[in-house]
Structure 1
Amino acid sequence: MSRQSISLTRPNDEWLKEQVESEEYASKSEVINDLIRRARETEQIRKKLIAAEESGPADQTPDQIRAGIKARLKNAAEI
């Protein structure tokens, strides 16, 4: 794991301390890593949504889409 040195504004530092003091996290590093992880997940979701929008309209009806989703969920539950 790499070590980094960062500068924080007073309000951000206080917020980090509060997170650790509330025992939600064990350290400031844990908080920062969680924030970065969430930001990366959000970025991945955003990219998928943009790709979906750019792909154009679906060639299936809403009923066909629902039926496909139900079939996939049923198959996943059987595994």
Structure 2
Amino acid sequence: MSTMNISLPDTLKSFVDEQVEKRAFGTSSEYVRELIRKDQERLHLRGLLLEGAASAPGKPADTAYFRTLRDRVRAADKPQANARK
């Protein structure tokens, strides 16, 4: 694992220390790593949203779509007859 040193104003350092204590992080490094992971996830989601916005329109989500979706979920929730044997 690589090491990175950062400088923070006292107010930000105090905030980080509070978050580490309140949110049960072991160290400030764990807190910063979590922030970076969440930022990566946010950027990935943003990319997916932009990709979707640039894509061709799909079928409308009408009553029939939601009925089919509910039926699929219900079928997936039912225990399989073969699974009981």
- Name the TM-score class by shorter chain: 0.7 to 0.9
| Aligned residue runs from structure 1 range 22-61, under 5 A | 22=22, 24-58=24-58, 60-61=59-60
Structure 1 gap ranges (5+):
none
Q: Which residue number corresponds to residue 12 of structure 1?
A: 12
Note the alpha carbon deviations across 1:8-48, whole angstroms, 9 max, x for none.
12221111111223352110000000000100000010000
User: How many residue pairs get matched?
Assistant: 77
Gap change, CA 1:57 and 1:28, over 3 Å in 2: same
- Give the distance between the partners of 1:67 and 1:35, measured in 2 at CA: 39
Structure 2 gap ranges (5+):
79-85
If the length of structure 1 is used for normalisation, what is the TM-score? 0.76
SS at 2:26 equivalent: coil
- Give the distance between the partners of 1:9 and 1:77, measured in 2 at CA: 53
- Give the distance between the partners of 1:54 and 1:45, measured in 2 at CA: 14
- Give the distance between the partners of 1:18 and 1:46, measured in 2 at CA: 29
* Percent identity for Structure 1 against Structure 2: 28
